[in-house]
Structure 1
Amino acid sequence: MKQIYTLLLLVFASVASYAQEVDSLKLEIQRIENSLQYQTGVISLKDGLATITVPKGFKFLDGEQAEYVLTDLWGNPKTGTSLGMLVPEQYGVLDSNSWVFNVEFDEIGYVKDDDANEIDYADLLNTMQEETLEENAARKAEGYEPIQLIGWASTPYYDADQKILHWAKEIKFGEADEHTLNYNVRVLGRKGVLVLNAIAGMNNLPEVQQSIATVTGNVAFESGHSYFDFDPKVDEVAAWTIGGLVAGKMLAKVGFFALLLKFWKVIALAVVAAGSAVMKFLKRRKEATPAEEVPVS
């Protein structure tokens, strides 16, 4: 019976050690969240290019903090292009169920929308899936997980009156069980497009879809920068078309797991050490002589 108690103590010790490390992880997540400076109200983007009025139910991180979240916390390649990030007010950026709209401006010129009604999005999807697979070798070489484009989570839609394009991709990163949602919004302007990418899990799709109208209704180019201010005499026309905008980069939200990497060795060592002690105990039990065995009553 004493030996059984010893075994139980070893198991409890391993569980306690693991629980302590999990608590440390929770404290680190809370520390990171507390360090972020969220904003509300009217936000000026890129020196007066556009404004975003933070919608009810959201909070805003500026470009520097958004880059920190995207690269240091979520493990995406560093670009330095984020103008900021809209975060649902009920979530922190490292919450398991969180999602965000990342805001950028792509200065590609004036995008003609003549092709908007002529695009076969099924064919475009097939092409994008093939290209994604071909690019995986380069991603692996740079230390990033391969990507599989599963399909449309929301078929591309273009609002010709508002000059707003949006669509959604369902993506699988590496061997992840949960697929990633990239919900893409493009607001066409005079010299390029405002980019609003919702980076989320597939389980967030209903929330994201419900917020599209609210978010796009609170983003606007300043006077002189809108699509309708285009001057063919001085402004450049983009090489991109509506169809070309749909085939873009993909981002991942892997925040909890990226942060977990900082602690995994400590947690693993604690579990392995305890497990090793348990195995040694069981081995001793197996090699014990019959006289040392505890009789079964």
Structure 2
Amino acid sequence: MKQFYILLFSLFIGFTSYAQTDSLSLQIAEIEKSLNYQYGEISLGEGMAKLKVPKGFKYLDATQAEYVLTELWGNPASGTSLGMLVPENKGVLNDDTWVFDIEFEEMGYVKDDDAAEIDYTELLATMKKDMAEGNKERVANGYEEIELIGWAAKPFYDNEKKTLHWAKELNFGGAETNTLNYNVRLLGRKGVLMLNAIAGMNSLPEVRQNIPLVLNSVSFEQGHSYFDFDPDVDDVAAWTIGSLVAGKLLTKVGFFALLLKFWKIIAVVLVSGGGALFRFLKGRKKEEEVYVTETEKEKVLN
């Protein structure tokens, strides 16, 4: 009889877990269904640039992208996203998802005189040192340490197209899985259009493979390109190519580590029978910010 009750209890636990897993899948499906993906040509920044959604991708507008970044992935609200490109075969809550978030920083015209002279090995060493120093303040403020592992893709500047891209491999708080931060920059007349791939390191081959496609899908409108610069009326940025690479890590770089933790917690939720996806997602507000101090900027610029 005792064995019967043990078997019955095991069957009950298995049925409950299955039912909750099914319920969770339905909730994720409902979230994905609520998103309005777009295709074709998209105007960015009130006519500043345009995006032709490349084959194999779908686009979420600025409002929905901000919802995904903050409400679903737990990033601090910034209101700076112009939208995001999501692989056609993935949803924003897939465990292997990755996206290109699009932003524009109006920093002025970035001179590229230093592009050919940068020693990226030396720059990486400086960035690692600055990261380690910055971790002291992070820990004191209750945040996890961030380790800059190295280049996931060495910086490359295309002088003809005025585009820059590079990738960093990062580790958040000793996590088992490292985070990929792949940065794409298009230099413009009044600032820089930024496309940042938010992904796990295992997605690097897929992200890298799509860089040319993504680069060719975005362009400045006439009057806003790098070649439209007018020295008599336009501001010149304090930033250079080197300082763009060494600059601020986006707060969104931390999302994938959070997403991995998210799935571990789901497993606990399924076993315990408590909590709902929305309650968890909306309650998960962990900021991952790394800012370059003014002193660090001066080191790069000098």
Shorter-chain TM band: 0.7 to 0.9
SS of residue in 2 equivalent to 1:191: coil
Structure 2 CA distance for partners of 1:28 and 1:141, relative to 1, 3 Å: farther
Structure 2 counterpart of 1:12, one-letter code:
L
1:179 positional shift:
1.5
1:12 positional shift:
2.8
Structure 2 counterpart of 1:27, one-letter code:
L
SS of residue in 1 equivalent to 2:150: strand
Structure 2 CA distance for partners of 1:144 and 1:27, relative to 1, 3 Å: farther
Larger Rg: 1
Q: Which residue number corresponds to residue 27 of structure 1?
A: 26
SS of residue in 1 equivalent to 2:54: coil
Establish whether residue 267 from structure 1 lines up as the match of residue 296 from structure 2. no
Q: Which residue number corresponds to residue 216 of structure 1?
A: 215
Identity of aligned residues (%): 57
Q: Which residue number corresponds to residue 249 of structure 2?
A: 249
1:30-49 to 2 correspondences below 5 Å: 30-49=29-48
TM-score scaled by structure 2? 0.82
1:133 positional shift:
3.2
SS of residue in 1 equivalent to 2:206: helix
User: CA separation in 2, counterparts of 1:24 and 1:145?
Assistant: 33
Structure 1 counterpart of 2:84, one-letter code:
M
Q: CA RMSD in A?
A: 2.2
Q: Which residue number corresponds to residue 96 of structure 1?
A: 95
SS of residue in 1 equivalent to 2:176: coil
Structure 2 counterpart of 1:188, one-letter code:
L
Unmatched 5+ residue regions in structure 1?
272-297
1:83 positional shift:
0.3
Q: Which residue number corresponds to residue 191 of structure 2?
A: 192
Structure 2 counterpart of 1:238, one-letter code:
A
Structure 1 counterpart of 2:237, one-letter code:
A
1:281-292 to 2 correspondences below 5 Å: none
User: CA separation in 2, counterparts of 1:91 and 1:139?
Assistant: 33
User: CA separation in 2, counterparts of 1:200 and 1:183?
Assistant: 8
SS of residue in 1 equivalent to 2:111: coil
User: CA separation in 2, counterparts of 1:159 and 1:180?
Assistant: 25
SS of residue in 2 equivalent to 1:239: strand
User: CA separation in 2, counterparts of 1:232 and 1:100?
Assistant: 36
| Deviation readout 1:88-128 (Å, 9 max, x if unpaired) | 10111111121111000011110000111111111211222
108-117 or 12-21, which deviates more: 12-21
Q: Which residue number corresponds to residue 8 of structure 1?
A: 7
| Deviation readout 1:40-82 (Å, 9 max, x if unpaired) | 1111001110001101111000111111111222222221110
| Deviation readout 1:160-218 (Å, 9 max, x if unpaired) | 01000000111122243221111100000011000000111112111111111111111
Aligned length: 270
